[in-house]
Structure 1
Amino acid sequence: MMINSTQVSYFTLSAYFDTGLFKYLCFMIVMSLYVLIVGSNLLLVVVICMNRSLHEPMYLFLCSLFVNELVGSSGLFPFLLVQILSDIHTVSAPLCFLQIFSVYSYGSLELVNLAVMSYDRYLAICCPLQYNTRMTNKKVATLIAVTWLLLFIENGLTLTLIVPLQLCGNIIDKVYCDNYSVVKLACYNTSVNNVYGLVATSLVIFGPLTLILFSYVRILRVCFSGSKQTRQKAVSTCTPHLASLLNFSFGAFFEILQSRFDMNGVPNMLRIFLSIYFLTCPPLFNPLMYGLNLSKIRVSCKNLISNVGS
């Protein structure tokens, strides 16, 4: 029977399976991860905002990265916690579309943030004399605001294309709502959605990757021809960024792979883990990586915690 989107009041998430009494253990593990993600990212956001010595381009971009990770994890974990304890794994249509917007905004903003950070490192290492004039705090704030606004608009357009779709089912084979999974439920031709999705995805992926590649090619050139001090500066500032980029890219690659290809041969637990990897591991990994490697953040965190404790 043909069912249009105005009549679909909920979606069923079929990737969940009965864990019996272990669901309470799973709930506690996921809750602990969520508290750790929120606590670590929020701590670094507060430290950067409160400490004027950290009001520099690199740290402002990091602040944008941490805020985005708070948004992305909050789009998944509260929903996931409810589903773990639920016996009927359903989600209302409005909440499903809201989650799609949140998750997709997180993914696109994460990659764009990492791309802008790579360009910032390129300017700092390759053009140190021009850095302060080319990367002022006003330009950084404008760049961050425009990036967030444009990507919110882009993901808002994604929603305007899927909400009116006439659907022939309401079963999503994942543990959270996914744009492509909803589009596959459509009863009629979705070429507009597919073309827009392909163009938007290509721009969001290949645009930032091109900027990252350009930045690191130039950084490597300077490192090979520069002094030992220049190489040490490049390694110390680029290592956390490269680690964050590889970590996020790994999770995003498997998420795209699962969305586009049949993964029924993969064990269910592994599919679930891989599908939420890019929403879980970067928000856990990045605060730890930057908090430990950047001495100014590390010292500021210690000072804030000691002041609160006293």
Structure 2
Amino acid sequence: MKSNNSLTPSYFQFTVFADYGPLRYLFFSLSLLIYMTIISANLVIVLSVCLENSLHQAMYIFICSLCLNSLYGSTGFFPRFLMDLLSDTHFISRPLCFTEMYITNTYVAHEVSLLTVMAYDRYVAICQPLHYHSKIKFRMVLLLLFLAVLHPVCILGSFFYLATTLPLCGNKLQRVFCNCWSIISFSCVDTTVINIASQFVAVASVFIPLSFVLYTYLRILLVCRRSSSEFRGKALQTCLPHIVTFGNYCISLFCEFSLSWYKVDEVNTFSVVLSLEFLIIPPIINPLVYGLNLPQIRTVISGFLNVGKTLHPV
């Protein structure tokens, strides 16, 4: 075992980055623009919820947490990615690689957990409106957020501990960021049990929340069928952003899992873009969907913009 550990590399090399010449500055500019858009759009939602007392409600607190998680995941990926676009060498140290891997994976798990909690909140609000304020108290909101954050950390922590102790016999990653299954594939020892367990946990972590969300919205649809058109309109207004967000995120995860589990012989630009979809599209879509569709948030943002124009007239 000692000899195996001595083979473990102290760094990894990303082999996907190519020498695009002057085009790399274009790719860098586009990526920087995407990163700045993600930061700006999510910060607007976070500040709106934090500064406006009328938005200190469970639904908006969960939306704020979703945007904070987008900032967390994007910041764990983009700075390093932007450096690699301009760099001539694409090496990353072992500690930094595992840190990036931990951030991107916990970001994914937190997003799924938060979207599941939000589905429960909408279910109680629409199907049990008389009991909403007794069930979704501020203490319950904090408890749900705590579980949504802690649950993925506990599950992923054990896998990352196993990954860090594996002796590795390779260091060339065919990705643009550190990926758990890619690292495990370098192991000098048999990892069949770890692969099966990790795939089972990954599938369960997605399909159990998905089943719960589908169940809650089935119940919501049944309630809406028996209700007035005005009630259906209000229910749709608060549920539609969540449905769009959750559906988009499931598609993103499907793309990522497909690329991670099935080895692609030739890595091309399309597969690279597809692998980044879950780090780019949801953090941009989430604040836009909630900011444009929920009138309460839209009103607060408009108020901030009007105040800015008053303080700094053209």
TM-fit CA distance, 1:286: 0.8
Name stretches of at least 5 consecutive residues in structure 2 with no aligned partner.
none
CA distance in 1, matches of 2:300, 2:37: 19
TM-fit CA distance, 1:5: 7.4
Residue number in structure 1 paired with 2:24:
23
Residue number in structure 1 paired with 2:59:
58
* Corresponding position: 1:282 with 2:282: yes
Deviation per CA, 1:148-206: give whole Å up to 9, x if none. Answer: 12212222222101001011111111110000000011011124422441343133212
* Counterparts of residues 1-310 of structure 1 (less than 5 Å): 4=5, 7-264=8-265, 268-309=268-309, 310=311
- Answer whether contact 1:5 1:165 (CA < 8 A) is retained: no
TM-fit CA distance, 1:3: 5.5
CA distance in 1, matches of 2:4, 2:37: 41
Worse-superposed segment, 109-118 or 192-201: 192-201
* Counterpart residue type for residue 152 of structure 2: L
- Answer whether contact 2:43 2:67 (CA < 8 A) is retained: yes
Deviation per CA, 1:224-279: give whole Å up to 9, x if none. Answer: 222212211221111111111121111110110001113336x6111111000011
TM-fit CA distance, 1:6: 7.8
Give the 3 Å change call, closer, same or farther, for CA 97–231 of structure 1 in structure 2.
same
Name stretches of at least 5 consecutive residues in structure 1 with no aligned partner.
none
Partner SS for 1:163: helix
CA distance in 2, matches of 1:55, 1:130: 19
Partner SS for 1:100: helix
Count of paired positions: 308
- Answer whether contact 1:4 1:168 (CA < 8 A) is retained: no
Deviation per CA, 1:31-72: give whole Å up to 9, x if none. Answer: 011011011111211110111110111001101100100011
- Answer whether contact 1:51 1:300 (CA < 8 A) is retained: yes
TM-fit CA distance, 1:93: 0.6
Give the 3 Å change call, closer, same or farther, for CA 75–62 of structure 1 in structure 2.
same
Deviation per CA, 1:263-300: give whole Å up to 9, x if none. Answer: 336x6111111000011001011111110111111111
Deviation per CA, 1:68-112: give whole Å up to 9, x if none. Answer: 000111111111101101111111110100011100011111111
TM-fit CA distance, 1:115: 1.2
* Counterpart residue type for residue 96 of structure 2: L
* Counterpart residue type for residue 214 of structure 1: Y
CA distance in 2, matches of 1:59, 1:5: 51
Give the TM-score, by structure 1 length: 0.95
Give the TM-score, by structure 2 length: 0.94
CA distance in 1, matches of 2:139, 2:302: 28
* Counterpart residue type for residue 204 of structure 1: S
Indicate the percent of aligned positions where both proteins have the same amino acid: 37
Partner SS for 2:276: helix
Deviation per CA, 1:11-32: give whole Å up to 9, x if none. Answer: 0112222211100111111001
- Where do 4+ consecutive residues of structure 1 move more than 4 Å? none
Partner SS for 1:91: strand
